[in-house]
Structure 1
Amino acid sequence: MKAYTVEQGIVAPLDRANVDTDLIIPKQFLKSIKRTGFGDNLFDELRYLDEGYPGQDNSTRPKNPDFVLNQPRYQGASILISRANFGCGSSREHAPWALSEYGLRTVIAPSFADIFFNNCFKNGMLPVILTEAQIDQLFKECAANEGYQLTIDLEAQEVRTPNGEAFKFEVDPFRKHCLLNGLDDIGLTLQDADDIRAYEEKTKAVRPWVFAEIQA
């Protein structure tokens, strides 16, 4: 998993509450568990004017010019700001996969659905909770300034605006450690790889029949 330390990037504003996971990545695209291949269908129902389906050539599809991610000023955005209860709905892990593959490493909102919030950390994304007033300010500044960028400093736990204003945010210390060091669940386990191998060798000697059954 790619480590998250400091993210400075263009901000895309999605000004709506209760953005659910089916809107983030519609159900018809959930036929793979490879973690890749979802970015082109992120917000599919909002980005395109036709109905999407798996395996479609998205380059030929008509795009919705009013949708924020299709507008030239927000191309290359790596930070998304939105409203309350972001990521609600079903628990599909494909939602952070799609956001991440598109290039969005940070989502800033007043609140998140619990499962989506947890899934972000497991996939190298940082969900940042700020107050409604702070979110309102970011939306206004973003609308007024083309190419508007924020700096997200995970170590300092700060969102910094171009004028130097800093908004502090909370993050669980263990989750912070994992993001800073690029550790997902597999990476955490592999930190103890030597101990795991030693245990297996010891178990082979004491209970060889167990490993014989596994190999068979």
Structure 2
Amino acid sequence: MECFTHLTGRIAAMPAANIDTDVIMPKAFLKGIDRTGLALGLFHDLRFDVEGRRRPEFLLHRADMADTRFLLVGPNFGCGSSREHAVWGMLQYGIRAIIGTGFAGIFADNAANNGLLLIVLDPIGIASLAACLSDDTGLISIDLEKRTIVAGEVSIDFEIDPEVRRALLLGLDRIGDTLTHAAEIHSFQQAYFAEHPWLVEAAAR
């Protein structure tokens, strides 16, 4: 998992409420046996028409939105079915952080487990950030170490769960985080089997 410390990039605003995982990643892209090709699936039905032609008017297809790294979204983003592919598609497309007033719980868990930073701001913070975007270049900087968003002359602080922040800073998914305790796990196993030698004998049979 790629770590997130400090990143500057372009942000695109998608303020509609309740954008669900079926919009983010349509079910047609859930059939693969691995994670490849999910960048194409991201917002597919918004980005392409029924014949597969690119919709030039879609936000992320605009020339000034090239290389978008962040999204500013409406309430309850990521609601709907449990679909980890939605997060995988975001990351494959190049989206590293999403800012909103709140996110669906399962989507938030999937994001935390895969290195997609979700930032929750109150409506005043969202309005301040949106105002900066209308007057500036659309570039912002997110510093996870300092927990700040900088847009033009404005700096906005944000809160984040300490464990989620630590995992993102270090680039650790759940397995990677568990493996940081490999020595302790090994010591526990040795001590446990020393106290229960019959388990070793049974496994050897």
- Unaligned stretches of 5+ residues in structure 2: none
Structure-2 residue corresponding to 1:54: none
CA distance in structure 1 between the aligned counterparts of 2:35 and 2:186, rounded to whole angstroms: 28
Residue type of the partner of 1:41? G
Quick one: distance in 2 between partners of 1:212 and 1:64?
62
Is residue 2:22 matched to residue 1:22?
A: yes
Q: Write the letter of the residue equivalent to 2:60.
A: L
Cα distance in 2, alignment partners of residues 211 and 91 from structure 1: 38
Does structure 1 conserve the Cα–Cα contact (< 8 Å) formed by 2:133 and 2:151?
A: no
Matches within 5 A, 1:51-200: 61-145=52-136, 147-163=137-153, 165-200=154-189
Could you report, residue by residue, the CA deviation over 1:165-197 in whole angstroms, capped at 9, with x for unpaired residues? 111111111111111111110011111223334
SS in 2 for 1:115: helix
In structure 2, how many angstroms separate the alpha carbons of the residues matched to 1:95 and 1:197? 35
Q: CA RMSD in A?
A: 2.1
SS in 1 for 2:68: coil
Rounded to whole Å, the distance in 1 between the matches of 2:143 and 2:8 is: 9
Contact 2:77 2:104 (C-alpha < 8 Å) held by counterparts: yes
Give the Cα–Cα distance (whole angstroms) in 1 for the partners of residues 13 and 150 of structure 2.
16
User: Deviating runs (4+, > 4 A) in structure 1?
Assistant: 198-202
Kept after mapping to 2: 8 A contact 1:36/1:97:
no
The secondary structure found in structure 1 opposite 2:98 is strand
Distance 2:47 2:187 in 1: 52
Deviation at 1:15, TM superposition (A): 2.5
Q: Is there any run of 5+ residues in structure 1 with no aligned partner, and where? A: 52-60
Q: TM-score, normalised by structure 1?
A: 0.85
- Identical aligned pairs, as a percentage? 37
Q: Is the 8 Å Cα contact of residues 9 and 139 (structure 2) preserved in structure 1?
A: yes
Gap change, CA 1:69 and 1:170, over 3 Å in 2: same
